[in-house]
Amino acid sequence: MSDPTFGRRRSEASLAVLQKTRMSREHRLSLTLAAVLTVIWMVFILLVAFAKGLLATSITSGLTLGLLLAFIVVIVVWLLALLYFLVGNREAPATHSSEGRP
């Protein structure tokens, strides 16, 4: 690290690596969360479509299994969005705030 040029090159190189991993990590996070959301939603929809009797099961007065699952799906999906928002926006540093095309 004594040679400043070398040091700069190394930091440039590591920056490139960092950007590449960050880029693929962002990509992966998007696709993973989208897949989780789609699976949760499709399982719920399939239950609504073909397991009507099961979802009609009463849990307490005024609450069926279907209503409970609906509530859980909404909460879980919102938590996924919160997770993406927190992680995704932490990883995008302010230096990129002027990115995009004019």
Partner 1 sequence: MTGNQPIELPNTTAIIFFLIFIGITIGITWWAARRTKSTEEYFAAGRQLTALQNGFALAGDFTAAAGFLGIVGFISLAGFDGLVYAMSSIVGWPLMLFLFAGPLRRLGTYTFADALAFRLNAPYVRLFAGINSLVFILLFLIVQMVGAGNIVQLMFGLPYNIAIVTIGIIMIGYAFFGGMLAATWVQIIKGLLMLIAAVTMLGLALASFHFNPLEMLSAVAAKNGPAVLAPGGGFPNGWETISIGIGALCGLASQPHVLMRVFTVPDARRARASVFCAATIVGLFSAISGLLGFAAMLFVGPAAIKAADPGGNMALPLLAATLGGNGFLGFVAAVSFATILAVVVGLIITGSATLSHDLWGGFIRRGKVSGREQLTVARFATIIICVIAMLLGIAFKGQNLAFIGTLTIAVAGSANFPTLFLAIFWRRLTVVGAIAGMLTGLLSSLLLLYLSPLVQVAILHHAEAIIGLRNPGIISIPLAFLVSISVSLLTFSPKDAARYEEVSKILHGAAS
Q: Note the residues at the interface with partner 1 (CB under 8 A).
A: 19-20, 22-23, 26-27, 29-31, 33-34, 37-38, 41-42, 45-46, 48-50, 52, 55-56, 58, 60-64, 66-67, 70, 73-74, 77-78, 80-82, 84-85, 88-89, 92, 95-102
Indicate the residue among 10 and 52 with the shorter CB distance to partner 1: 52
- Minimum Å gap between C-beta 75 and partner 1 is 9
Point out which residues pair with 64 in neighbouring strands. 58
Per the structure block, which two tokens stand in for 50? Answer: 């073909």
Comparison of 10 and 22: residue with beta carbon closer to partner 1: 22
The single-letter DSSP state of residue 75 is: H
Which of 73, 70, 66 is CA-nearest to residue 40? 73
Q: Which is nearer to partner 1, 6 or 78 (CB)?
A: 78
* Secondary structure (3-state) at 58: strand
Alpha-carbon distance 101 to 98, whole Å? 9
